[in-house]
Amino acid sequence: MPNNDSQFRTITRACALLSVFLGLIVLSGWLFDIAVLKSILPGHINMKPNTAIGLVCGGLALICLVRSDSLKKLRYPAAKNRLTVEQSAVSIAER
């Protein structure tokens, strides 16, 4: 029977990769002006590029967290999380 820790790491990696993948799809939709790629589900509202960047940064931070075993390596995920928080604050300030 596999270790619970390895199962959680596998699930976390899968969710992080899905987040990065979806964010990149939406960003490519905005870059190439493809309406179908701008929204996750057809017929729904478009995802904003700021949100897609947040998904990519959050997913990358999760990947770094899963891979890091020492506190020294936690600087990179913390920087990506900080970037996500700052980007969110700018998006809220735009309104």
Please state the pTM of the whole predicted model: 0.75
pLDDT tens per residue across span 52-61: 888 898 888 8
Percent over 90 (pLDDT), the chain: 21
pLDDT, position 22: 93
80 with 60: CB under 8 angstroms? yes
Percent over 70 (pLDDT), the chain: 82
pLDDT tier at 26, thresholds 50, 70, 90: very high
56 with 47: CB under 8 angstroms? no
Structure tokens at 67: 């891979």
